[in-house]
Structures are given as structure tokens and as C-alpha cells.
A and B are shown apart, each in its own frame.
Chain A
Amino acid sequence: MTAYLIKRILWMIPMLIGISLISFFIMHLAPGDVTSNEASFNPRASEESRQKLRELYNLDKPVITQYGLWLKRISQLDFGNSFASHQKPVLWEKKDKSGNITKGLIQESLPITLMINLLGIFIIFSISICLGTLSAVRQNTWVDRAITLFVFIGFAIPGFWLALLLMYWTGVSNQWLPISGLHSPGFQNFSSFGQFIDLLKHLVLPVSISSLSGLAGISLYVRNGMLDILHQDFITTARSKGLQENKIVFIHALKNAILPLITIIGLSIPGLIGGSVITESIFAIPGMGKLFYDSVLMRDFPVIMGILTIGSILTLIGNLLADIGYAWADPRVRKGLVK
């Protein structure tokens, strides 16, 4: 087990280098750089300043050199500063000589994206287990069909369309929920509990919409997994021994069905992070997805590379944790019987 873990962790390093290399070169395929944003097309702005900026950011050097310089910085855990937002640090806050702290871009946006995604995973986990189990236990009845249909529709709806419809219905026609953002404008004056509730209200729509598509796949997976297990011999044995149906389903069968779920959820992390671009844009949530999209359009290379690196690390860790979780939960693996 430990050997396996160590091997996995060591593999992460060449993988990260591979990821960063691919990303770096893809990025430089594009024409243009941070000095070519729309604002700089102002007749009163001069070309020399743009040229100076390019030199400052090493943008006039060959791509290999730029990659080498970046790699050197990363090895010292220095992700650099953003080009576009005037030297805001990419990863973590910096203190200047007077003690003023400027927070890092990823430091500010990652917790938000993580919060939404973790809440999303929790919701997907809980709801899909319920729906999948229900579906399996009541296989081929109308309950099963209804749940399957509902779950499929959830997967098939274009996210931003549903988002706008819900925003209109819950925010404009009926003023139940806020429309966008993470906080109400005057929230600093609320009590702690008030702020907590305010945040929850703002999160209802974004989290629901971003977890909707994951719900479908996983519910189905649970259903199929449960069906497999419920037909196995040991369940029939348990029934013939007279165990209560509830106990059979929830304790024996479910435990086995959840195992592969852990891996699946680990594998769906990249999808959740990637899908967040649209959700964050519509709901005005300053997360990593929106940051990435903006950086791509602005050719803000340090931020793009920083996000891809951090995103990949998170995904690799997520998969590793999922594998570990699986290995730990499945006594067969733990005891070395099955790898």
C-alpha cells in the first residue's frame, strides 16, 4: 500500500511537467499577448510603452526560453505576478515594505471554486445515492422510470439556459433568492448568522446548476451498481437467512455499491472545475473558472499557467485520494487480496 502510494506521488511530477509543457506551448500558439487588449487600441496610447511592457515580461524571447524561465520560478514555488492585473501575485499574497498585503489571484478565487465544487460533490453524493438506490430497489416500476427520466433531463439541460430561467423565476418574478454574486451589498452589517444565511442563499442556484449534470451520471451508476449487487449470491443468501430487506439494501448492498463511486467522483473533479466557467460568469462569482477564461482572453500567461498547474495538481490529488479511499474502504484491497 505504501509502495503504491509513493509510486503514485512520484508519478505526479513527470505528469505535471508534461501538463505544463503541453499547456505552455498551446498558449504560445496564439497570436497576441497581454499588451494587445482592447484598451490599448486607444489612439492616445503609444506603441513604445507596449514594447517596454513586452520586454519586462520577457515576451520577446523565444518560447523555449520563456518556458525555462517559468520552470525555474515554479521550482522555487514562485508563480510570478499577473501581467494583466498589474502585478497582483498569481498564487499567494505578497507583503510590501510597509506591510500592505496584496492577495494572490488564485488565493482569492480557488476557495470559492472549491467551496462550490465541494458542496456540489456532497449534494451529488447524497442525492444520487438516494435516487440510485430507490431506482434499483423499485426496478422497472414507474418510480424507476420517473427517476431515470428526471435524472436524464437534468443532464440534458443546457446549464446557462436553466440558470437564466431560474434566476428570472426565483429572483425577478418572485423575490425568493438573490440573482447573482456571493454577497448582498450591505452584508457587512449582518450578524455572523445573517452572513452565513446570505451566503447560502447566494449559493443555492449556482451549486444546484453546476451539480445537475453530475447527478445524472452518478445516479445511474449507483442504480446499475446496486442492481448488479442485489442479484449476487450473497444477497440471496442474506435474504434466505431472513434478514430484513431494509438492512440488506442499506447495509450490505450499499456498502459495496459505494466503493466504485469514490473513484468516479474523483474522476469527475476536472469536469466540475472546467464547467464552472459558465456558471461563474452568469452568477458573477469570482472563482477560478472565470479567472481562467479572462486570463486566456487577455493572454495573461503567468495566471494561465498557474491555474493549469494548480488545477492539475488538485485533480491528481483528487484522484489519488479517491484511489486511497477506495483502497481503504474495500477490505479486499486493504488486505492485499486484490489490487
Chain B
Amino acid sequence: MKKKFLLFTIFICSIFIINCSKETSEVIDYNRKFNIDFGGTLINAMAGEPSNLIAMIAGDSASSAIAGNIFNSLIKYDENLDYAPELAESWKISNNQKTITFKLKKGLKWQDGEPLTSSDVLFTWKLITNPKTRTPYAADYQLVKKALTPDPLTFKITYADSYAPALDTWASLHILPKHILKNEDINNTFFSRNPIGSSYYKLNDWISGQQVTLIANNKSTSGPPLIKKLISRIIPDTSSQFLELTADNIDLMNINPIQYQRVFPARKELQKKIGLYKELGNGYTYLGFNLKKAPFNDIKVRQAINYAIDKEEVIKGVLLGLGESISSPYKPGTRWNNPNLKPYPYNPSKALKLLSDAGYIKNDKGILLKDGKPLKFEIITNQNKQREMTAVLIQRRLQEIGIKVSIRVIEWASFVNRFIKTGDFDVVVLGWSLSLDPDQYNIWHSSQQGPGQFNFLGYSNKNVDKLLEVGRKELNTLKREKIYHEFSKYLLEDSPIVYLYAGYGLSAVHKRIKGIKQPTPPAGIYHNSYDWFIPKPLRRNEILE
């Protein structure tokens, strides 16, 4: 028996010895000039597995990320966040602002060689507006009253009423192939695991639970990408992802502020081979009040709490400074952001003044009381480390002026169903991830307070309602700017939420990946990912192509 054990140990050790020498990386100079060359493999990591590569049906981010490499939309955003051609080479908006006519590029082909024409676009529109299709995104497209294809290169749609977010919706609709899907049940088709698209990449291999491999599509409607293969490895745990990154097994990953600000600077050898990038995302984190519950229906209380929270402290503590304080629900630096609005500064004495105006006086223990009842409430948030930390910091500051705050962290599905939908909450710490169109009707209009709708805070302001309605219809950019600037002003005054921060998206990309545009353009570093390349000497030689 002991002999067996010994043999076993020797067997294991020999496997180690045989394979223990992975080539140690010689000192590589990543900063010299390299020739642009087609080829190479980029490996990145995803925490979840895609469920369905038909983006209109799948809801999750892993699915949209992969599908975005395979399918095209009619238009896209360029590096300055202006609309640019994708499948459509041009588009015209009629004088009454209700009709958009898209002209497709000539010679577009699907990856199987079939021509891509306006009938595919019409087919896709019919699909997404079909009540049998299980998509949550139909609403925007149902506003189109009439869709026509006068010729194979023209797609003409007419809205019942001018709809300003229209172009944004067409920038996110993946066009699907009619010739393959016309007889398929879109909800159950195998196409979702074996798609045929028209964009830079096509699906090469999908090993369930482990990795998805995309390979360059030589019939791409936008020209070929420079990197031949994309492998997305499914690695659920972020600490494992980081270990893989530092071991050179993956080329790119989203990192957190501590890794960006503390780990990398402490490890010089990591900085030599991995580059760090930061960009503002299109979302923000906020503290939201249940406006239907006292005392949050009192604007003085809300504004007081706004003054009592030190936002700079939150950004410094939670994001290590990698974020910005905002005063409107739009990305700083874009035209929709009102430059004249300033965030509420940290001013606890002003907060106390407002609270005393509202009837709250401090007792001898330092607790704020009104009619004998202390001011206390519960902050709830979901299981998100940054939101938890934010809540803790807020709790401390509010405690300092005499408000008793408790915190509860709840798993997402329970959070939404037991607390948000039922309106059974005091205050939440949550975030919004927004589209690039400034329309925020679904979140702030007083008609959107039904169960499952997004105005769950219960906000109602007639002026804001009017602005949101008009803003949706106004296609003139300058006029729209004014409308949304005014909307932001009301929102800031009413303070139904406290803007906490807009965090930076932080990426670590291996230096073998070249072509990343710096300084980071408004659309972020990923907008030109198809122009990135991997020079021959830096490619992974263990992956044959």
C-alpha cells in the first residue's frame, strides 16, 4: 500500500517536472514601433455565460457583449458620440420630423454570402414588434406606424409622432437575417446558439460554460478587424480573473479602483506589461428617497440630507478618487449635461438649518426629533460592494447631524420584488445605467409609477412632465439641449435623489494589444476595438491559428 502511494506521488511529480517550464517571458520592450498586421488572438474574461446571442431576446450583458461583435445595426456612435453610418450609409429626416429614410450601403453581405438588404431590416422590425416575440425592448419600435422598403437599399419608417430617441433605438437594434430566420420560431431557434451575422466576427466555437471563440469574418460589412480571434473565457470569480491577468493568461479585464490605484502602482513589473485606462461610463449612483413616505415628501428634509452627505468623501473612500460628482443625470462632458448646475456641497450646518425649518430639533443626546419622534430610516441596497461601502459612509455623516440610519443589504431578486415593487422602503442606494439618448421619460414621468415601472420613487412634477414629453418629440439638437438642461435644473432643486457619483470604468489591457486611442475619446477606448492589432512578435505562440 505504501508502495502504491509512493508510485502515485512520483507520477504526479513527474507531470509537474515535464510541464513545469512555461517559457519565462524575456524582457520585452512593448513601447517600440510595431508594424500593423492581421492576426493574433485576444483573450478576455466574462463573469457570466451568454444565454442567447439574439440580443433582442437575451437580457444579460454577456450575451449583448458577444452578439455586438457578430451583428450590425443601421447606425452607430462614433468616437465623439455622434451618429455615424454602419449598415446605413446615410439617413434623412423628413420636414415634419416623423419619417426617417435610411439608405443602405451597397454590396452588404451576410457571413454566409447572402446579400443583406432592406428586407432584412424590415424583417427584424416586424420580429421585434411581434407580440409573440419574447423581447422586453419592443416599446420603442412599436412607435413606428409604417415601415416600407421601396427598394433593396432603402428602409423608410414613419412614426405617429416625432420621436427624438428614434435614432438611438436604431443604433442598438441588431439586424437579423430574414433568409435564415423567416421560418424559425425566434423564441426557440437554434440560431441563438449558432448565429449568422454580418459584422466583424463570426462564432467559431462555443464550449458551454468555459469559453466562446469568435473568428474574423472576411465578408464583414465594415471591413475586416485586425485581430483574427477573440476568445472570451468564462471566469465567474473576479479574484481569479485578476490572477489570470497578472499571469498573462488573459489580455483584458475590468478592474476595481483598488486594483487600479493601489495594486498596479505597487507592482512595477505588472505596469511594464499591462496598461491601465479609465473612462466615464454612462451611468451614476444615487441615493433615492421614497417620495410617498414621510418625511421624504418634504423637500426641506431631502435637501438637508443632500447637504449632509459629503460626496467627495464617498468618491475618495469608495472609488479612491476615480469618479466625479455630478449635478444632472447625464455624463459630464456631453452636451446634455448642464454646465451651470453645481452639486450640493457638503454643508452640515445648512442641513441642520433646513431640518429645523422642517421642525426637527436636536435633543440633548444629539438626536433630531420632531413631535417627539426621532428622525431615523433604513437604507437598503443590493449586494454590490461599492454601494454597501457608500451606504456606510452616508450612515456616518448622517449620524453626525443626528439622524439614525440603519443599513440592509439584500439579494437582488428579493430586493426588487419585496421592497422596490411594493414601495416598501425608505431610502435606496442604487445606480442607473443609461442609454446615450437624453430621454428619461420612463424614470421621471409621473405616469410611470405603476408596478414594475421605473418611477418607483414616486416623483411627480408637472413642469418636468411637460419637459420630458416635449423633449421626446424635439428632434433639433440645440432645442433639446435647452429642454434637458431645464429638466436637470428642476431635478436638482427638487432633490428626489442625491447624486452620489459617476464612477469611471477602469480597464486593464495587456500591452501586446496595440491601437488603443489615447487620450480616451468621449465614446471610450472600446469604440475602435476593431482597429486594435497584435504585432507578430507579441502574439501567443501556443495558440495556433
Contact = CB atoms under 8 A, between A and B. Distances in A.
A87 B249 CA distance: 33
- Top-8 shortest CB links A-B: A286-B209, A32-B413, A47-B452, A186-B543, A45-B136, A39-B59, A100-B190, A175-B22
Interface stretch (A72-80, A147-155, A166-174, A302-310): A166-174
A284 B233 contact: yes
Contact of A178 (B12, B61, B209, B249): B249
Contacts of B478: none
B12 to A, nearest CB: 8
A98 B190 contact: yes
A100 B12 CA distance: 41
A181 interface: yes
Given A46-B136, A197-B19, A284-B240, 10 more contacts: A42-B136, A45-B136, A46-B139, A86-B58, A87-B188, A133-B1, A179-B247, A186-B542, A201-B19, A282-B237
A185 B2 contact: no
A175 B15 contact: no
Given A36-B417, A179-B247, A183-B210, A87 B187 contact: yes
A326 to B, nearest CB: 20
A141 interface: no
Contacts of B192: 86
Interface stretch (A49-57, A62-70, A231-239, A313-321): A49-57
A109 interface: yes
Interface stretch (A14-22, A123-131, A265-273): A123-131
A254 interface: yes
B208 A32 contact: no
Nearest to A40: B59
A23 interface: no
B51 to A, nearest CB: 4
- B: contact size bracket: 35 or more
Contacts of B243: 164, 167-168, 171-172, 179-180
A185 B59 contact: no
Interface in B24-42: 24, 41
Determine which residue in B233, B240, B432 has the highest number of CB atoms from chain A within 10 A of its CB, and name it.
B240
A286 B189 CA distance: 24
Interface in B180-225: 187-190, 192-194, 205, 207-211
23 contacts: A30-B413, A32-B417, A33-B417, A39-B59, A39-B61, A43-B432, A44-B136, A44-B435, A49-B134, A50-B452, A86-B51, A86-B192, A87-B188, A109-B209, A129-B1, A164-B240, A176-B19, A183-B210, A184-B542, A185-B43, A188-B205, A201-B19, A297-B412
B159 to A, nearest CB: 17
Contacts of B540: 186
Contacts of A127: 5
A223 B285 CA distance: 58
A252 interface: no
Contacts of A37: 59-60, 412-413
Nearest to A167: B243
B16 A176 contact: yes
Given A45-B137, A133-B1, A171-B243, A185 B233 contact: yes
B234 interface: yes
B2 A49 contact: no
Interface in A180-209: 180-186, 188-189, 197, 200-201, 204
B135 interface: yes
B61 A182 contact: no
A102 B210 contact: no
Interface of B: 1-2, 4-5, 8, 12, 15-16, 19-20, 22, 24, 41, 43, 49, 51-52, 57-61, 134-140, 187-190, 192-194, 205, 207-211, 231, 233-237, 239-240, 243-244, 246-247, 249, 382, 411-414, 416-418, 432-435, 440, 442-443, 450-454, 540, 542-544
A179 B140 CA distance: 44
A201 B14 CA distance: 12
Contacts of A178: 249
A31 interface: yes
Given A176-B16, A254-B1, A32 B418 contact: yes
Nearest to A133: B1
Contacts of B240: 164, 167, 179-180, 282-284
A48 B249 CA distance: 43
Given A45-B136, A290-B236, A31 B60 contact: no
Given A189-B544, A281-B237, A102 B16 contact: no
Contacts of B139: 44, 46
Nearest to B18: A197
A179 B454 CA distance: 42
B207 A183 contact: yes
Interface in A222-244: none
Contact of A281 (B207, B231, B236): B236
A191 B431 CA distance: 49
Nearest to A88: B51
Contacts of A133: 1
Contact of B412 (A38, A174, A182, A184): A38
Nearest to B246: A172
Nearest to A108: B208
Contacts of B453: 47
A183 B236 CA distance: 15
B371 to A, nearest CB: 34
B286 to A, nearest CB: 14
A240 to B, nearest CB: 24
A290 B8 CA distance: 30
Given A40-B136, A44-B137, A44-B435, A85 B51 contact: yes
B5 A126 contact: yes
Contacts of A250: 1
B193 A102 contact: yes
B413 A33 contact: yes
Given A42-B433, A86-B57, A53 B134 contact: yes
A162 B235 CA distance: 18
Nearest to A49: B136
A39 to B, nearest CB: 4
Contacts of A25: none
Contacts of B137: 44-46
A232 B394 CA distance: 69
A188 B452 CA distance: 46
Nearest to A184: B542
A100 B239 CA distance: 37
Interface in A86-133: 86-88, 96, 98, 100, 102-103, 108-109, 126-127, 129-130, 133
A31 B414 contact: yes
Contacts of B189: 96
Contacts of B211: 181, 183, 185
B442 A43 contact: yes
Nearest to B541: A186
Contacts of A85: 51-52
A38 B19 CA distance: 43
A46 B2 CA distance: 66
Contacts of B52: 85-86
A173 B207 CA distance: 29
Nearest to A131: B5
